[in-house]
């Protein structure tokens, strides 16, 4: 009988992380031991001390995945190849991208954890799973964080996005440099750099992106040059990837080294985690062997 170490994020899913993880009691045949990852100070020691044959199962959403990988890297930890992932959280764009749904049995994720790209945000480096987004998506995350601090306030990102499109967010000029080639766009509403196809809770920003691309290519999608009404017309199509047909206002660029530069401080999000007041972000694919 297998031994499982269930790694849950007590903060995931609006504080329901442990409850979601306990659903594994009916899905895994073996002994289960639960550990809250918010209490792990050193992942290197944690994995070195894990009993031989124990299978770790990470539970949570996209933010948990991001935090886990970055914390492991910071500690110099070797993540076991047998690691499984069970989705909790609310967005679950990673799970959507690999073709499964919340509540499904835990899935192996070692091949997705290896060779992740790096976002260098003004000197601080982050590994990312789904995407790094400048523009109205960064604004939505920043505004969502602000509203979350209000007791009893329910967060609706769709309404935040619509409010941004209607005037609370102002589109800004942006320079995007892809493998050394500069491109300039006026009035950019969105400028994410994508490792997967989805971000923002179901937006298919980069429908042709392959997170297992053998060359490690990333996709920059720039939504630009449109007024409010045209933006509102095009925007719903992003949930099915249909926005890319509007080539006058949607530009898609692929490369291994992509720098997005705004000319004034702008909110940014990394796998849903907010970074405020950013002007430059450089995203690079993992080094090839």
CA 249 to chain centre: 24
DSSP bridge pairs for 7: 35, 58
Residues 15-36 have a mean pLDDT of 89
Residue 172 has pLDDT above 70, yes or no: yes
Residues 123 and 171 grouped into a single domain: yes
Residue 49 has pLDDT above 90, yes or no: yes
How many whole angstroms separate alpha carbon 113 and alpha carbon 116? 6
Question: In this structure, is residue 29 part of a structural domain?
Answer: yes
Residues 22 and 109 grouped into a single domain: yes
* CATH (domain of 144): 2.60.200.40
Residue 48 has pLDDT above 90, yes or no: yes
Nearest to 136 by CA among 234, 13, 255: 234
The mean pLDDT of the chain is 91
Residue 239 has pLDDT above 70, yes or no: yes
pLDDT band, residue 186 (cuts 50/70/90): very high
Question: In this structure, is residue 211 part of a structural domain?
Answer: yes
Which of 113, 139, 168 is the last residue in one of the domains?
113
Residues 92 and 128 grouped into a single domain: no
Residues in the chain: 289
Residues 146 and 265 grouped into a single domain: yes
Residue 289 has pLDDT above 70, yes or no: no
Residues 179-207 have a mean pLDDT of 95
Residues 167 and 270 grouped into a single domain: yes
Tell me what pLDDT residue 278 has. 93
Tell me what pLDDT residue 89 has. 64
CA 289 to chain centre: 25
Which of 113, 134, 161 is the last residue in one of the domains?
113
Residues 49 and 151 grouped into a single domain: no
How many whole angstroms separate alpha carbon 121 and alpha carbon 59? 27
Residue 165 has pLDDT above 90, yes or no: no
Question: In this structure, is residue 63 part of a structural domain?
Answer: yes
Tell me what pLDDT residue 56 has. 97
Extract long-range pairs of 278-282: CB within 8 Å, 24+ residues apart.
278/121, 278/122, 278/134, 278/138, 279/122, 280/121, 280/122, 281/119, 281/120, 281/121, 281/122, 281/132, 281/134, 281/193, 282/119, 282/120, 282/257, 282/258
Residues 172 and 241 grouped into a single domain: yes
How many whole angstroms separate alpha carbon 73 and alpha carbon 96? 25
Question: In this structure, is residue 289 part of a structural domain?
Answer: no
Residues 65 and 109 grouped into a single domain: yes
Which of 113, 141, 162 is the last residue in one of the domains?
113
Question: In this structure, is residue 162 part of a structural domain?
Answer: yes
Residue 88 has pLDDT above 90, yes or no: no
Distances (CA, A) of 282 to 94, 207, 259: 21, 22, 4
Tell me what pLDDT residue 288 has. 67
Number of domains in the chain: 2
Domain with 146, as residue range(s), is 118-284
């Amino acid at each position: 009988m297998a031994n499982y170490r269930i790694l849950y994020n007590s903060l995931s899913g609006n504080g329901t992380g442990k409850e979601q993880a306990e659903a594994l009691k009916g899905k895994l045949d073996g002994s289960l031991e639960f550990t809250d990852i918010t209490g792990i100070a050193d992942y290197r020691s944690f994995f070195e001390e894990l009993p031989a044959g124990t299978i770790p199962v990470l539970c949570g959403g996209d933010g948990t995945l991001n935090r886990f990988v970055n914390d492991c890297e910071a500690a110099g930890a070797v993540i076991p190849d047998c690691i499984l992932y069970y989705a909790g959280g609310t967005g679950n764009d990673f799970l959507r991208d690999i073709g499964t749904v919340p509540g499904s049995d835990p899935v192996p994720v070692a091949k997705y954890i290896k060779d992740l790209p790096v976002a260098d945000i003004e000197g601080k480096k982050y590994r990312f799973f789904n995407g790094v987004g400048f523009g109205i998506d960064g604004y939505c995350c920043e505004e969502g964080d602000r509203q979350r601090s209000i007791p009893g306030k329910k967060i609706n990102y769709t309404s935040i996005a619509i409010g941004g499109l209607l005037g609370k967010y102002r589109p800004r000029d942006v320079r995007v440099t892809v493998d050394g080639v500069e491109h300039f766009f006026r009035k950019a509403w969105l400028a994410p750099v994508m490792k997967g196809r989805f971000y923002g809770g179901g937006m298919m920003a980069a429908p042709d992106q392959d997170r297992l691309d053998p060359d490690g290519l990333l996709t920059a999608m720039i939504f630009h040059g449109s007024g409010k009404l045209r933006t509102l017309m095009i925007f719903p199509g992003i949930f099915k990837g249909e926005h890319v047909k509007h080539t006058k206002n949607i530009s898609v660029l692929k490369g291994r080294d992509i720098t997005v530069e705004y000319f004034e401080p702008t909110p940014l999000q990394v796998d849903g985690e907010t970074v405020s007041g950013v002007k430059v972000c450089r995203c690079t694919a993992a080094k090839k062997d």
